[in-house]
């Protein structure tokens, strides 16, 4: 039980003793005391006035006096209008610290028995991963870690969009302009090479559209009838029909991309429990569509395309199969969802996908419900905002994206430059320095992205993210390294068991520590790693203020020193747990 719950329970006991009535839990409203007032927990007494039949100040005074006289852990109280500010005793906080320090799993909530699948990344195999994918991957990984900390059994999965018209565009441009180039012959990562041909297709397409418009065709008709687009559409039909030549080229170019993706995932510290491929799941979706068609849930238009009418649900008609029989994203998502729920008996399926797909997932749930799947409501779209750079938005087809590999390299160089400027590399060999630069660069990038509410569009500034001061990953990493340095220096000192008198700042650090499990629960319910990121920053900041004002190693009283070392070690361990949820490593030396 944390201190907020402890006061709530004690207050309920006080109300029953004073007024002879067991209060409804909804009437016991507690919150951390605001910093401008003395106290640890504040009881709001207004909801209790009907029970006490007295004025707010009198009610607060009576409850405060009863608590002070009857609960040993309460050291004092003060009343501000209808608010009772309660001060807990130093002995209470010492017990809390001992309890936290003795719990190796502090922050890990009990098992719920629920199985949750988190799908994230979901790249297309026509381009390398970019900055937008980085936010997706970091959110997906962190939400998975967060839900594990909440006690769920979690599966991390990737759905690779390895088929469709976009893939055919890269393939066709390679056939027309590639001259047999490969990653080996070009010295390029495979995903970069294929991405270049996606951009090349767009260049060729624009040129053809321009020529058609010059010949008198409207721009809209030109974009529909450009010969190269027709060729790409014909290639997609051939692929779905299993044409050996098209499938062979598809396998070869996708293979190049997968090797490139694996390198990028490795640098980000991302892995998956299972990878699905759209090329293997879309057929299950087509079968579902045919079944829905036979049951009158869907309808076929004159051109042979299949649709679901959602106008009765306040939406529009949704395409499920094109007139040529080829499938769309919705087709494979239907099939993949059924496959996953049947294979793993999921309690929840979370899709980490940008907010531009809000409509898609609204439709997905509706259609699955119409098909009769009772688990349709167990689907949750973890919608997040786009990430932009100071120079603006990115466009893949125009080749103006910020490549993930380039950004990782830039972050590494920035971490190296900053560390060299600050002179934080004393006694480290080249290998240790390299490890530190990678840890700092990834910590900076991950923290800067994850500290922002996922629903918000964010601006990513690499230079700002690597700052060793303020609300940044390196600041928290440096705090952890500082604590480890303290603990190393204390290894030969006498350790004395027992509880010494606590300083006010120590009590506030312990109170923050004690709130961590509830913060994990709150963050899990909100699917928001940002709450964990900002908790870690608050804890690091609070400890640094304490460290600045307090003797730890040089404290002469062995019992006091021992208790301060326990507090320091407990802060470090809690920071590790919190930052592990974010996928961030903390160095022992800096």
CATH-assigned architecture of domain 404-581:
Orthogonal Bundle (1.10)
Q: Is the model's pLDDT at 286 over the cut of 50? A: yes
Exposed/middle/buried for 253, CB within 10 Å: 0-12, 13-18, 19+? buried
Q: Is the model's pLDDT at 569 over the cut of 60? A: yes
pLDDT of residue 397: 44
pLDDT of residue 163: 85
pLDDT of residue 396: 44
Q: Please report how many Cα atoms fall inside a 13 Å half-sphere around the Cα of residue 165, on the Cβ side.
A: 14
Contact (CB, 8 A) for 232 and 238: no
pLDDT of residue 127: 87
Indicate the pTM of the whole model: 0.89
pLDDT of residue 364: 97
Residue 117 CB neighbour total at 10 angstroms: 22
List the Cα angle 313/315/319 in 5-degree steps: 110
Strands, sheet with 29-32, edge to edge from the N-terminal-most edge strand: 29-32, 41-44, 83-88, 74-80
Q: Is the model's pLDDT at 400 over the cut of 60? A: no
Exposed/middle/buried for 216, CB within 10 Å: 0-12, 13-18, 19+? exposed
CATH-assigned architecture of domain 120-388:
3-Layer(aba) Sandwich (3.40)
- Domain 3-88 fold is Gyrase A; domain 2 (3.30.1360)
Interatomic CA distance for residues 590 and 482, integer angstroms:
8
Q: Is the model's pLDDT at 540 over the cut of 60? A: yes
What's the rounded mean pLDDT across residues 436-455?
Answer: 95
Interval 515-534: pLDDT, tens: 999 999 999 999 999 999 99
Interatomic CA distance for residues 540 and 522, integer angstroms:
20
All structural domains of the chain with their residue ranges? 3-88, 120-388, 404-581
Interatomic CA distance for residues 5 and 312, integer angstroms:
47
pLDDT greater at residue 131 or residue 509? 509
Helix axes 244-268, 190-214, angle to 10 degrees: 120
Q: Is the model's pLDDT at 490 over the cut of 60? A: yes
DSSP string, 452-502: S-TTS-EE--HHHHT-SSSSSHHHHHHHHHHHHHHHHHTTTS----S-PPP
**Would you call 129 helix, strand, or coil by DSSP?**
coil
pLDDT of residue 394: 44
pLDDT of residue 392: 53
What's the rounded mean pLDDT across residues 92-118?
Answer: 96
What's the rounded mean pLDDT across residues 376-405?
Answer: 75
Percentage above 90 pLDDT, the chain: 84
Residue 308 CB neighbour total at 10 angstroms: 24
Interatomic CA distance for residues 264 and 195, integer angstroms:
15
What's the rounded mean pLDDT across residues 419-431?
Answer: 83
Interatomic CA distance for residues 240 and 479, integer angstroms:
55
pLDDT of residue 69: 96
pLDDT of residue 469: 83
pLDDT of residue 399: 47
pLDDT of residue 97: 96
Query: How would residue 398 be classed by pLDDT, with cut points 50, 70 and 90?
Result: very low
Phi, psi of 114 (to 5 degrees): -85, 145
What's the rounded mean pLDDT across residues 124-134?
Answer: 89
Interval 313-369: pLDDT, tens: 999 999 999 998 888 889 989 999 999 999 999 999 999 999 999 999 999 999 999
pLDDT of residue 401: 64
Q: What is the mean pLDDT of the chain?
A: 93
Percentage above 70 pLDDT, the chain: 98
Interval 494-509: pLDDT, tens: 888 777 899 999 999 9
What's the rounded mean pLDDT across residues 456-485?
Answer: 90
Query: How would residue 132 be classed by pLDDT, with cut points 50, 70 and 90?
Result: confident
What's the rounded mean pLDDT across residues 265-292?
Answer: 93
Q: Is the model's pLDDT at 131 over the cut of 90? A: no
């Amino acid at each position: 039980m944390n201190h907020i719950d402890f006061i709530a329970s004690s207050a309920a006991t006080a109300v029953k003793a004073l007024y002879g009535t067991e209060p409804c839990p909804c009437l016991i409203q507690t919150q951390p005391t605001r910093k401008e007032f003395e106290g640890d927990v504040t009881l709001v007494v207004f909801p209790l006035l009907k029970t006490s039949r007295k004025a707010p100040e009198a009610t607060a005074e009576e409850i405060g006096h009863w608590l002070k006289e009857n609960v040993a852990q309460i050291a004092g109280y003060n009343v501000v209008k209808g608010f009772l500010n309660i001060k807990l005793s130093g002995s209470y906080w010492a017990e809390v610290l001992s309890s936290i320090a003795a719990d190796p799993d502090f922050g890990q909530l009990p098992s719920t028995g629920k199985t949750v699948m988190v799908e994230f990344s979901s790249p297309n195999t026509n381009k390398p991963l970019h900055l937008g994918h980085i936010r997706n991957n970091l959110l997906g990984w962190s939400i998975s870690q967060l839900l594990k900390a909440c006690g769920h059994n979690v599966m991390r999965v990737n759905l690779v969009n390895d088929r469709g018209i976009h893939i055919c565009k890269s393939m066709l441009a390679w056939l027309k302009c590639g001259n047999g180039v490969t990653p080996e012959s070009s010295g390029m990562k495979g995903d970069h090479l294929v991405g270049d041909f996606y951009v090349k297709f767009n260049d060729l397409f624009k040129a053809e559209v321009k020529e058609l418009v010059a010949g008198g065709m409207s721009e809209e008709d030109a974009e529909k009838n450009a010969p190269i687009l027709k060729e790409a559409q014909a290639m997609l039909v051939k692929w779905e029909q299993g044409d050996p030549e098209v499938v062979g080229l598809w396998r070869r170019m996708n293979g190049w991309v997968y090797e490139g993706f694996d390198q990028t995932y490795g640098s980000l510290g991302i892995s998956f429990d299972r990878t699905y491929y759209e090329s293997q799941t879309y057929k299950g979706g087509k079968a579902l569509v045919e079944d829905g068609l036979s049951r009158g849930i869907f309808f076929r238009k004159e051109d042979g395309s299949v649709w679901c009418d959602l106008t009765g649900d306040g939406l529009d008609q949704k395409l499920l199969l094109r007139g040529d029989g080829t499938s769309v994203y919705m087709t494979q998502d239907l099939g993949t969802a059924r496959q996953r729920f049947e294979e793993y008996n999921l309690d929840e399926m979370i899709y980490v996908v940008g907010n531009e797909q809000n409509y898609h997932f609204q439709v997905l749930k509706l259609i699955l419900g119409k098909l009769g799947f009772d688990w349709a409501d167990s689907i949750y779209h973890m919608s997040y905002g786009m990430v932009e750079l100071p120079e603006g938005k990115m466009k893949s087809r125009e080749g103006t994206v910020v490549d993930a590999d380039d950004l990782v390299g830039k972050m590494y160089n920035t971490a190296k430059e900053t560390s060299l400027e600050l002179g934080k590399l004393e006694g480290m060999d080249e290998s240790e320095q390299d490890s530190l630069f990678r840890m700092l660069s990834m910590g900076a990038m991950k923290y800067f992205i994850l500290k922002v509410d996922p629903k918000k569009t964010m601006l990513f500034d690499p230079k700002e993210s690597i700052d060793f001061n303020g609300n940044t990953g390196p600041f928290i990493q440096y705090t952890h390294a500082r604590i480890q340095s303290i603990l190393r220096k204390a290894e030969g000192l006498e350790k004395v068991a027992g509880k010494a008198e606590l300083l006010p700042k120590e009590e506030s650090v312990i109170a923050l520590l004690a709130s961590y499990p509830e913060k994990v629960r709150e963050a899990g319910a909100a699917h928001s790693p940002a709450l964990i990121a900002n908790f870690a920053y608050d804890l690091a900041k609070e400890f640094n203020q304490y460290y600045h004002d307090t003797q730890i190693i040089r404290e002469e009283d062995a019992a006091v020193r021992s208790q301060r070392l326990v507090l320091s070690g407990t802060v470090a361990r809690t920071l590790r747990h919190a930052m592990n949820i974010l996928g961030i490593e903390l160095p022992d030396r800096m």
